[in-house]
Amino acid sequence: MMNKTLACIALTLLLPIHAALADVADERKSPLGYGSKGYVWGTISLEQAEVMKLVPDARRGEEAFRGCRGCHKRDAAGVMDGTYPRLTGQHASVVIKQVTEVRSGLRINPKMDPFASDHAVTPQEIADIANYLSTLETTRENGKGPDNLSVRGKALYLRNRCGICHGDNGEGNADKFYPVVAAQHYGYLLREMVHIKKGTRGNSHPRMVKAIGKFSHADLEAVADYLSRLPDYRRVLAKGK
């Protein structure tokens, strides 16, 4: 009886500590990633090269994506508050880079680890899922900032030439592995830029860290808000044609 009571007290005391640790763990610097000795951006791992060589199948990808839906949701639009990012319309090359770099430990993501490990998905399934996601339309509305700061955000984006890599419409660059940043959830964009600024996003382009490093928190909020309010880049590009 006594032991049971003690165990209960221990559990109630430990649970909040455990939860707090899990959050702090997200802030860990990757020992292999940005800021570590010998880090070179864009080194393609053997697994990334292997996945990129496979012939993908979007239908099989839809099946395999079942294992990802718990967080990224059935339509892959993530969660409005940005806890889980939107994956619809992301370049296949970017999805492959991010997933294989979570697997290699370059990008730390303890929440996703067990679902993206090689026990959970094969290289072929990564290729299939990446292809499937790149074909998906952006349907549901995404999370925006609490205030419309897009004028200030746009000025910062232009002045710091973020578009050299992420494009004028936030469309990224599939060939160069630069992610789409348009129409992404505000909460996710802001969190990533805080990580990039602090050097705790393991896979970061050093040129971007330098630019974002000069931003105040208010600047980061403005840029995140601007990007979250951009429409799906595919709609913009289709109109221009």
Answer for which of 47, 109, 174, 198 binds ligand HEC (CB under 6 A) is 109
Answer for which of 211, 225, 232, 233 binds ligand HEC (CB under 6 A) is 211
**Which two tokens mark 153?**
């955000």
Report in angstroms how near the CB of residue 147 gets to ligand HEC at its nearest: 18
Q: Does 181 bind ligand HEC (CB under 6 A)?
A: yes
Q: Does 127 bind ligand HEC (CB under 6 A)?
A: no
Burial 191-229 (b: 16+ CB within 10 A, else e): bbbbbbbebbbbbbbeebbebbeebeeebbbbbbbbbbb
Q: Does 204 bind ligand HEC (CB under 6 A)?
A: yes
Answer for which of 136, 193, 222, 230 binds ligand HEC (CB under 6 A) is 193
**Which two tokens mark 230?**
């951009």
**Residue 141 near residue 81 (C-beta atoms within 8 A):** no
**Residue 163 near residue 223 (C-beta atoms within 8 A):** no
Binding site for ligand HEC (CB under 6 A): 41, 67-68, 70-72, 84-85, 87, 90, 95, 97-99, 109, 111-112, 115-116, 121, 129, 157, 160, 162, 164-166, 177-179, 181, 189, 191-193, 203-205, 207-208, 211-212, 223
